[in-house]
Chains A and B, each alone.
Chain A
């Protein structure tokens, strides 16, 4: 079966760094997306990885290891506005997005 696992909730302190992990098992693999969703709002695109390695985009970076079926989203210099849910989605062989349940990130002052 197809499965995406990510932690349900994480807490971090303003100004710190947090890493949100995602493991996936899908039939075929055509890349992995990370989305951010603030409460009551639509999910918005953060990153897409298809090759192994780290991709940096400002305070946010995303890492992929295809051999391990593993990705993480790294958020640096955390700000209160980063409090949101972070959704991981793998693209399967049919180019369908398979979504994780999301990780709720709580930032404390």
Chain B
């Protein structure tokens, strides 16, 4: 079974630009979550999608957005990039369903550097 695939693995962008990151979940998983990981803050939850609907959202500004497609693949977009957006962005998929606790499977992440 293929794991969670994130593309690209590395990205360098300039302040003010926008970026789109992609995540392909494990086949059959309908829940996809996005996290920002920085050395000081640890894993910070961005948002979660289930069946193309945003189920939960973290405390990030509106510059951070996401979506999920009918095949469960997900994208996240960051507009007007700031230096502080430099981080590892992790995607996790799970076979989550209502009222069920499930393990999250992580991708390798996209390391975004904003210069």
A residues sitting closer than 8 Å to B (CB atoms) are 30-31, 33, 41-45, 48, 50, 87, 89, 91, 94-102
Residues of A within 8 A of B35 (CB): 99
If the complex has contacts A33-B103, A50-B101, A95-B96, are A87 and B43 also in contact, measured as CB distance less than 8 A?
yes
Q: Which residue of B lies closest to A50 (CB)?
A: B101
> Which residue of A30, A43, A44 contacts B101 across the interface (Cβ within 8 Å)?
A30
- Contacts A30-B101, A31-B101, A42-B108; A94 near B43 (Cβ below 8 A): no
B6, chain A: closest CB distance, angstroms: 9
Interface residues on B, range: 20 to 34
- List residues of chain B with CB under 8 Å of any chain A CB: 4, 33, 35, 40-45, 48, 56, 90, 96, 98-101, 103-109
Docked CA distance A98–B101 (Å): 13
